[in-house]
Amino acid sequence: MVTEFDEKLGEIKNKCMNCEKCSLGKTKTNTVFSAGVPNSRIMLIGEAPGYYEDMQG
């Protein structure tokens, strides 16, 4: 069952994957959006991937 929350999260993911408003967005080869439980009460955000991580996917 797809909820309104799931639909909204899908919209945000799509925007992130297609965004080119900054230099990172214009030069990226991969987008890492999220992993885990979407409605979790806590979110941990790690370091952004570097050049080589982006190339490896």
Q: State whether residue 32 is helix, strand or coil.
A: coil
Q: What is the pLDDT of residue 14?
A: 93
Question: Residues 6 or more apart from 5 whose CB is under 8 A from it?
Answer: 38, 39
Q: How many CB atoms lie within 10 A of CB 16?
A: 13
**Rg of the chain over CA atoms, in angstroms?**
13
Q: What is the pLDDT of residue 21?
A: 93
pLDDT tens across 2-23, in order? 788 888 888 988 998 999 998 8
Whether the predicted model's global pTM rises above the 0.75 cut: no
* Mean of pLDDT over the chain: 82
